[in-house]
Amino acid sequence: MQKRVHFAPTNTMFSPVPNTPSPALSEVSLPSDSSSEVSTPPPEIDYPRAHYPHSPFPHNTDLLVPKSLPEPGQMQIHYLLAYSPLADIPINFDLSLHWSQIEGQISSHELSEPATSPPLPSLLIICPLVPGDILVRPREFPGPHVTVLDVLYYLYRYLRLAVSQEEYETQATGTTKAAVNSAYHARCGRVSGHQARATEEGKGVKKVDFLQGRNMFKGLSGTLTGAHVWELNVA
């Protein structure tokens, strides 16, 4: 019998969390479905700091940005988030799993550092594979700037959003649809227990399934669109 994909009855959106004192990573909690989230132990490897590459990607956005921004080539991103084709990124982050997997990999001090230099009050993440744009703002809104933790947090939250059937039919066609379907079934198949698996399947196709199984975070690369627009790289 041919497997079918499902869709959530509503398109769930989320808002920034309330303004609270700056917590350590272990003190931060997100809604977690233990039936569908599997943690992976991080490797203990000393990674070299990568350079900050830039790649062109045409894009239009109505995002409000600071009146004065450096040229794209002058903006830098934190080494923990920087894509490099010649080196692995220092974070073992599977975008299909809960973001708490980064615990123990990165100190709370580094997570609280600005995501870019100079710091930005907001930034936009785009990905050719995923419909829509990921707006990243300080979790402690209104905060002074986007941190490393803010980027990882919003990547996880956005990719967990359900996809409507209309969006699925519009964005996924041909071989892409087959790959999205396969990613959906693989993700749900990792859930232990028949009932829990059925519950996860009922939540429908999610944005992360559009990565087509390329779930490993490989960093952000700059674009020529603007210093605040960054492209997500996956593998």
The domain locations on the chain are 165-208
Residue-wise pLDDT tens digits, 71-123:
656 789 999 999 999 988 999 999 999 888 998 899 999 999 999 999 999 99
Predicted local confidence at residue 7, as pLDDT: 58
| Beta carbons of 220 and 200 less than 8 angstroms apart | no
Asked if residue 161 has pLDDT above 90, the reply is yes
Range ranked top by mean pLDDT from 16-20, 25-29, 32-36, 67-71: 67-71
Selected residue with higher pLDDT from 35 and 222: 222
Residue 84 corresponds to which tokens in the numbers above? Answer: 């490099």
Predicted local confidence at residue 140, as pLDDT: 82
Predicted local confidence at residue 71, as pLDDT: 63
Predicted local confidence at residue 103, as pLDDT: 87
Name the band, by pLDDT with cuts 50, 70 and 90, for residue 39: very low
DSSP for the chain, please give it: --------SS-----PPPP-PPPPGGG------TTT----PPP---PPPP---B------------S----GGG-EE-TTTB--TTS--S---BTTS-GGGGTTTS-HHHHTSBSEES--S-EEEE-TTSSS-EEE--SSSS-SS-BHHHHHHHHHHHHTSBPPHHHHHHH--HHHHHHHHHHHHHHHHTS-SHHHHHHHHHT--BGGGGGTT--BEEEEEE-SS-TTEEEEEE-
Residue-wise pLDDT tens digits, 162-201:
999 999 999 988 899 999 999 999 999 999 999 999 999 9
